[in-house]
Amino acid sequence: MKHDDVEGRGDLGVVDALAQLSFVVQGVLGQIAAEHELSIIQTRLLGVLRDRSPGMNELARYLGLDKSSITGLVDRAESRGLVRRKPSSKDGRAIVVSITAAGRKLAQRLASEFKQRMTTLVGPLQPAEQRALSELASRILIHEAAGRGVDLMTAST
């Protein structure tokens, strides 16, 4: 007998709903990536490189991984022709990682398939409800990003 059972029938409560929804969304992403023999992290790598050519260290910060993990990640993507390493012209120690034409093409394809699947997922909601959902989720994200010192609306991640 939950004393705080204020949710109407069919409602999971914010915490559970967002948790479960995150698994569903990640599942969609993982499935689409897998259809192209990619992992989620490889997909994120391509996403980051779509509008940037960072060094390994910088890449590690973007992805929240140790730089030693980036080495293997980039190795595998490079051996598939999706990204490329080039020595930095400014710093003899550094290298610059960039996406190849093939990598960009694949990234675009993944993005479009993801968008389509997500559109289907939110299909049961009316357009106005989708906008409301978008707005609420965005507000959470903006606050969360601000809490980490990032301006979501400016950062192009």
Q: Which of 68, 154 has the CB closer to DNA? A: 68
Q: Which of 41, 142 has the CB closer to DNA? A: 41
Q: Which of 92, 151 has the CB closer to its own copies? A: 151
Q: Which of 20, 31, 39, 138 binds DNA (CB under 7 A)?
A: 39
Q: Is 145 in the site for DNA (CB under 7 A)?
A: no
Q: Which of 34, 102 has the CB closer to its own copies? A: 34
> Would you say 151 and 145 are in contact if contact means Cβ atoms under 8 Å apart?
yes
**DSSP secondary structure string, the chain?**
--TT--SPTT---HHHHHHHHHHHHHHHHHHHHHHTT--HHHHHHHHHHTT----HHHHHHHHT--HHHHHHHHHHHHHTTSEEEEE-SS-TT-EEEEE-HHHHHHHHHHHHHHHHHHHHHTTTS-HHHHHHHHHHHHHHHHHHHHHTT--TTT---
Q: Is 92 in the site for DNA (CB under 7 A)?
A: yes
Q: Is 102 in the site for its own copies (CB under 8 A)?
A: no
> Which stretch in 17-25, 64-72, 100-108, 115-123 sits in contact with DNA by CB under 7 A?
64-72
Phi, psi (degrees; rounded to nearest 5) at 84: -145, 145
Positions that interact with its own copies (CB under 8 A): 7-15, 17-26, 29, 114-115, 118-119, 121-125, 129-144, 152-153
Positions that interact with DNA (CB under 7 A): 39, 41-42, 55-58, 63-74, 76, 85, 88, 91-96
